[in-house]
Structure 1
Amino acid sequence: MTDILDNYDKAILRELQEDASISNLDLSKKIGLSPSACLARTKNLVETGLIKKFATIVDEKKLGMEVLAFALVNLTPLNRDTIHSFLADINQLPQVQECYTLTGSHDYLLKIVAKDMASYRDFIIDSLMQNPAVSKVETSMVMGIEKRTVYVPVDEV
């Protein structure tokens, strides 16, 4: 897919990653295309799946979510049934913002937000550990965020 991206497509991706709410007219002016050509290219990037979706990034602290944690999770037994059960549960838990399958000594890495430490503890006990396959949870609490981005460097492709 990246073989067919030209400089206009890359420019569209850069600009939309910076501000997904930009109007098509403003986007077309920034990258030097007509509005109709710009819209057609953007639609193509969406239809081919290169653009997964447009989203709003919310400041969780301003919503009162004071705790950000990363939890390393192990499942026992680690098999297809327990994995499907675990992932089905995880996808129903809004506190889990991200879930990654890992290699090594842990099976999953979860990014979790909570209102406070008591809420986080309750979440671990009452939600995450309710799945019988979850055998171990190790938590690292975030003390500060030094860099956070969802930007993918399109010039690298």
Structure 2
Amino acid sequence: MRLDAIDRRILETLQKQGRLSNQELSERVGLSPSACHRRVQRLEEEGYIKGYVALLDPRKLGRTTVVFVEITLSGQADEVLDAFEKAVARVPEVLECHLMAGTADYLLKVVAEDVEDFARIHRRSLATIPGVTGIQSSFALRTVRQTTALPV
């Protein structure tokens, strides 16, 4: 399915304000409510819209420390990669995990309450994953830009 200009406006609008009613969305994109509803359903069915979430404020939840962690593994065999991915998926403080090209095998985005909390996560969760041979952590000093909106 190809996206037309209206589909793109729907996606852009929903990324910024996912709780809009169908009536409000239809007014913003210039469609009747029924036509807008059909388009949103089609975008959901086609997989362009994966789901709807509430974005939480990490500061309100006491998660003020963001750490980017480079992980090096003992090897690149499928079983080593699979075991790591399954284990890291069970660590709730890991918000993102990316398989990388370059010197590190994986890059993680981790949230913690503070440096001591990250030390606990490092010691009890990350360092205990089988196959991990190296961990390099970088602390974010300030978040300059953060968005979940993709360009459409």
Figure out how many residues of one structure are paired with residues of the other and give that number: 152
Percent identity over paired residues: 35
Q: Which letter does structure 2 place at the counterpart of 1:31?
A: V
Q: What is residue 112 of structure 2 aligned with on the other side?
A: 114
Q: Hey, what's the Cα distance between the residues in 2 that align with 1:153 and 1:132? A: 37
Which residue number in structure 1 is paired with residue 51 of structure 2?
Answer: 53
For the residues of structure 2 that align with 1:8 and 1:136, how far apart are their CA atoms? 48
Matching residue of 2:151: 153
Q: Is the 8 A contact 2:100 2:106 kept in 1?
A: yes
State the 1:34 CA deviation.
0.9
Quote the Cα distance in structure 1 between the aligned partners of 2:130 and 2:72.
11
Q: State which of 144, 150, 155 in structure 1 corresponds to 2:142.
A: 144
* Unmatched segments (≥5 aa) in structure 1: none
TM-score, length of structure 1 as denominator length: 0.94
The answer for the alignment partner of 1:131 in structure 2 is 129
Alignment gaps of 5+ in structure 2: none
SS in 2 for 1:62: coil
Note the C-alpha offset of 1:153: 1.3
Instruction: Find 1:99's aligned residue among 97, 100, 108.
Output: 97
SS in 2 for 1:53: coil
- Which letter does structure 1 place at the counterpart of 2:10? I
Distance (Å, rounded) in 1 between the aligned partners of 2:64 and 2:145 = 17
In structure 2, give the amino acid aligned to 1:125: R
TM-score (norm 2): 0.97
**4+ runs deviating over 2 angstroms:** none
